Chain A
Amino acid sequence: MPIQYYIYFCLALFSLGVVGVLTRRNAIIVFMCIELMLNAVNLILVAFSKMHSGIAAQNGATNTAGIDAQIFVFFIMVVAAAEVSIGLAIIVMMYRNTRSIDINFLNRLKN
């Protein structure tokens, strides 16, 4: 499986996530699209790790090349989980104060 196919696929997922962030106004949906992006990245990292592992296996030696990417994916998931919890808490806060979860409502940064 040429690596490009995986890259294309993940790019498509990632750009779908970008479109979602730019397009939707519901804060929760935006958050979910961020998670989508993170997942796309995870997948590409794993694909690269397998690529390197495959190359190493071709060149001989049974070393564990490319395992770093999978560890990285592991930690990405960790961080994503933590971030989700905080983010949702903020959204709940926002709802409590403004009775709305429209991101255009938060324009305190104006001017």
Chain B
Amino acid sequence: MNVLEIIFYILSAFALICATMVLVSKNPIHSVLWLILVFFAISGHYILLNAQFLAIVNIIVYAGAIMVLFLFVIMLINVNKDSEPKKQLFVKLIGVITGGSFLILFISLIKQALPLVGKTVLLKEGNIGLIHPLGKALFNDYVVPFEISSVLFLSAMVGAVLIGKK
């Protein structure tokens, strides 16, 4: 058990606990905050895998922009603990069971999978997560999707404005 593994376990546990709190919280603002913590944990995983660019981008985009947007909307709609719609216990139970069986199913599938036996993940090393190779690949092989994503953003902006108009 070296340090990396310990860090992996800690980060994983942290992420799972925060995700569970997202589900369980009554107050939506609390859920948002817990989700931000989850994103931090994920970024931690990214750093562990030496995907530095993605770690930073995760923080900036997800935790920084998207979650802030969520907060804005929540505050706009003025949701608080009282106006949280009630949910029947039966439906919650069904949901949990379904999700649980989903998890179990896939775990069993992965356990059976032969090609995955013995493969390990390169931690802390490798330079494919660094900005330089990433940028090179992005602008050489994937330049078209890159440009089109800008068009995507444009359309998203237009759509959002259009939908939001009175």
Contact = CB atoms under 8 A, between A and B. Distances in A.
Q: Do chains A and B touch in the complex (CB under 8 A)?
A: yes
Nearest to B66: A84
Interface residues of A, number: 74
Given A3-B119, A8-B110, A26 B84 contact: yes
A79 B163 CA distance: 18
Interface string A1-28: 1111111110111011111101111101
Interface string B127-150: 011000110011001100100010
A19 to B, nearest CB: 3
Interface string A84-105: 1110111111011000111010
Interface of B: 4-5, 8, 12, 15-16, 19-20, 22-23, 28, 31-32, 35, 38-39, 42, 45-46, 49-51, 53-54, 57-58, 61-62, 65-66, 69-70, 73-74, 76-77, 79, 84-87, 91-92, 94-96, 98-100, 102-103, 106-107, 110-111, 116, 118-123, 125-126, 128-129, 133-134, 137-138, 141-142, 145, 149, 152-153, 155-157, 159-160, 163-164, 166
A33 B22 contact: yes
A32 B145 CA distance: 26
A4 B142 contact: no
A2 B120 contact: yes
A92 B77 contact: yes
B69 A19 contact: no
Contact of B126 (A25, A53, A86): A53
